Amino acid sequence: MVEKKVKGSVIRGYLKYVERTWGEMGLEECLEDIGQRMDDIEERKWYDIEVLKALHTWIGDEKGERYMRRGGNYTVRDLGVLSYLVKFTNVKRLLKKAPKSYQEAFNFGSVHIDVKEGGAVIKMKGVKVDEYACLAWRGVFEGTLDATDTDGLVEAFEDDTKEEDDCYFKMQWD
């Protein structure tokens, strides 16, 4: 079995969210509780999924589920200069690139997106690494709508093919 890994850019994105939301003291508390140092987390390096799980748990348990969703949203919208460029694309183009983007940041699981006029069905297989993961992914897709200035809605759904570690969403937009 492959050891699950995540790129440092994902971890740093959530840590930026923690700092922005709860300040420098909140970031220090979080880093201490998850046993990490910001200087040790490099954008392009791979890290054990346990680091992201600890971060999700800190946000979800300490602050609440709605903050976990907001964290996912923040990681998409806080793209620096890219956030300016993303506004010039549409949500459909961005979603079509999502499976490849996922594979660049995670070495496990997969993303399947069926983009249609006015919406999309998103099936994320093998991505639920902790109890907060699907909330975070929902926030990511809500952030995709926000980043492209698209009015819309993201809802989780269940179906017969969904496994325990999958996250499924329906996205609708005008």
Instruction: Give pLDDT tens digits for 59-86.
Output: 999 899 999 999 998 988 665 434 444 5
94, 164: one domain? yes
What share of the chain has pLDDT > 90, as a percent?
Answer: 73
Confidence of residue 88 (pLDDT cuts 50, 70, 90): low
The per-residue pLDDT for range 97-115, each reduced to its tens digit, is 889 989 999 999 999 999 9
For residue 15, the enclosing domain spans 5-77
Place of tokens 């069926």: 114
162, part of any domain? yes
116, 49: one domain? no
Q: What is the CATH number of the domain that holds 119?
A: 3.90.1520.10
Confidence of residue 93 (pLDDT cuts 50, 70, 90): confident
25, 72: one domain? yes
Looking at the structure of the chain, the number of domains it has is 2
Q: Is 64 left (phi over 0), alpha (psi -120 to 50) or beta?
A: left
The per-residue pLDDT for range 15-35, each reduced to its tens digit, is 999 999 999 999 999 999 999
C-beta of residue 147 within 8 angstroms of C-beta of residue 80? no
Instruction: Give the domain-ending residue among 46, 77, 108.
Output: 77
Instruction: Give the domain-ending residue among 44, 77, 110.
Output: 77
pLDDT in the model for residue 8: 95
Rg for the chain (alpha carbons), in Å? 16
Confidence of residue 94 (pLDDT cuts 50, 70, 90): confident
53, 110: one domain? no
